[in-house]
Amino acid sequence: MKREELLAKAKSLPHDPGVYIMKDEKGTEIYVGKAKSLRKRVSSYFLSKDRLPKEAAMIENVVDFDYIVTDSEVEALLLESRLIKDFQPRYNMMLKNNEQYPMIEVTMGEDFPRIISTRRKDNPKSKYFGPFISGTDVKICLAVLQRIFKFRTCSRKIDAADKRRKYQRGCLNFHIGRCAGACCDKISKEEYRKRINSACRFLSGQKKDLIADLRKEMDEASANLQFESAAAIRDMVDAIETVNAQPEMDESLMPAVPVFDPEKGLEALQEALGLPKRPSRIEGIDIANLQGKETVGSLVYFVDGVPFKDGYRRFKIKTVEGQDDFSSISEVVGRRYGRLVKEGKELPDIILIDGGKGQLGAAAQALAAVGAKPMALMSLAKKEETPYVYGLPEPLNLSRRNPGLKLLMYVRDESHRFAQHYHHILRRKAMFGEK
């Protein structure tokens, strides 16, 4: 086909997510890609614009293309990986070295397997899926799947025969419904394995067969009066069927895309702070107001360097009159972590305050008042980008290229954006008399 014909064909594609396969004159697959909107993404290839030499060379060789519609962007990501592995398209050559690019690993050699991101295929007992182009894509995919299958990602060694598990306190992921609670004996080895096997089938592209089998299992459980088990399976089926559907997204929950590897950022923070383990959970707090009016607080929640939007929180300041950032920080910190302590829930590894030494001191006093002791309490002010750590006399000396500082800036900027958005909502409601 000529470019005009290719563009016309592309403009007839649906707006659904999916995968496209570019072919040369021999019908050979030369490139595979994924798209949030097939029509927009594929059409963009055949519109005149300046391109990188590699992309321009690929487009010059395209004579036709196929496409596959998927139910979600997550499924498009997984299908893209499988097709690249099968076809080995020459313009996807960058993915042939599996050791260098991110994969999904299922640690089948453990009593309670983990599903994690990795760049090394070195465990013969594990199952691997991928490779993938983007480490961030993998982490977002795992965050979505974890909400469905509730698998663990922690590095804790858990022995199914250890009876002491029943006395363990569940981790934060268990309390927010992202983990089934293997560490605290809330699920048996057999039931947990079923979840892992279901997740592997989903990762392998067996979604329809998986749903059919789960429905049969649900009906059997219900017939045997095992209503709690049937309800759990029903919820899993519902979640699989609606995974990453395309609703109207709330812009206030859409974080910016980082330009660094979050995994390297966490490793850099562990080294800079001298932490005994790599941090996983980071919460960022910011305050916003306009001339002392409509003061609000925001809290953003990151897991493994990736925003977890279900964990975001907003606070309308109740106890502070006028513009007083220090007191406002104290109120938000006291309310947030006082509640976690009272409910016996785990604290984040790092708490990051938007501000300087003054805001850091106010947060430290509030934490002490409620008996909360995170692994690290930090602050980061704009412009200077100098991170302070509570308990250290001098700020951390991190270059602007340090991935740890980039991660802190990402969390700080996201908390600021989220606070400003909430502040604008309240201002608009006040202006128009909305409730």
pLDDT tens readout for residues 309-358? 778 998 988 888 778 889 999 999 999 999 999 998 889 999 999 999 99
Residues of the chain with CATH 3.40.1440.10: 3-92
Give the pLDDT of residue 163: 86
Instruction: Return the pLDDT at 260.
Output: 63
Check pLDDT > 50 for residue 250. Answer: no
> Phi, psi at residue 242, to the nearest 5°?
-110, 15
Which residues sit opposite 117 in a β-bridge?
Answer: 104
Model pLDDT, residue 247: 36
Task: Quick: pLDDT tens for 200-234.
Answer: 999 988 888 899 999 998 999 888 888 888 888 88
What pLDDT does 373 receive?
A: 92
Q: Which of 263, 268, 266 is nearest to 279 (CA)?
A: 266
Average pLDDT over residues 247-272: 66
Average pLDDT, the chain: 85
Instruction: Say yes or no to pLDDT of 117 above 80.
Output: yes
Mean pLDDT for the stretch of residues 102-130? 92
Degrees, nearest 5: CA angle 113-243-87: 75
Q: Identify the three-state secondary structure at position 188.
A: coil
Is the pLDDT confidence value at 418 over 90?
no
List, as one string, the DSSP characters of 137-148.
HHHHHHHHHHHH
Q: What is the pLDDT of residue 258?
A: 53
- Given pLDDT bands bounded at 50, 70 and 90, which one contains residue 252? very low
DSSP per position, 57-122: HHHHT--EEEEEE-SSHHHHHHHHHHHHHHH--GGGGGGS-TTTS-EEEE-TTSSS-BEEEES---
* pLDDT tens figures, 28-81: 999 999 998 999 999 999 886 777 777 888 899 999 999 999 988 889 999 998
pLDDT at 432 over 60: no
Query: Residue 276: phi, psi to the nearest 5?
Result: -70, -20
Supply the pLDDT for residue 123: 92
Query: How far does Cα 405 stand from its chain's mean position?
Result: 19
Structurally, what CATH architecture does the domain formed by 3-92 represent?
Answer: 3-Layer(aba) Sandwich (3.40)
337 three-class SS: helix
Cα distance between residue 246 and residue 47, in whole Å: 26
Q: How many helices (H) and strands (E) does the chain have?
A: 13, 13
Tell me the C-alpha distance between 284 and 47, whole Å: 41
How confident is the model over 386-413, as pLDDT tens digits? 999 999 989 999 988 899 999 999 999 8
Mode of pairing for the β-strands spanning 376-380 and 350-354: parallel
CATH 3.30.420.340 location in the chain? 262-432
Q: Which of the residue ranges 95-104, 177-186, 214-223 would you say has the lowest mean pLDDT?
A: 95-104
Q: Which neighbouring-strand residues pair with 352?
A: 284, 378
- Of 265, 148, 155, nearest to 198 by C-alpha is 148
pTM over 0.75: no
Residue 255 has pLDDT above 70, yes or no: no
Give the integer Cα–Cα distance in Å for 97 and 54. Answer: 18
CATH architecture type of domain 262-432: 2-Layer Sandwich (3.30)
- Region of poorest pLDDT, from 13-17, 159-163, 240-244: 240-244
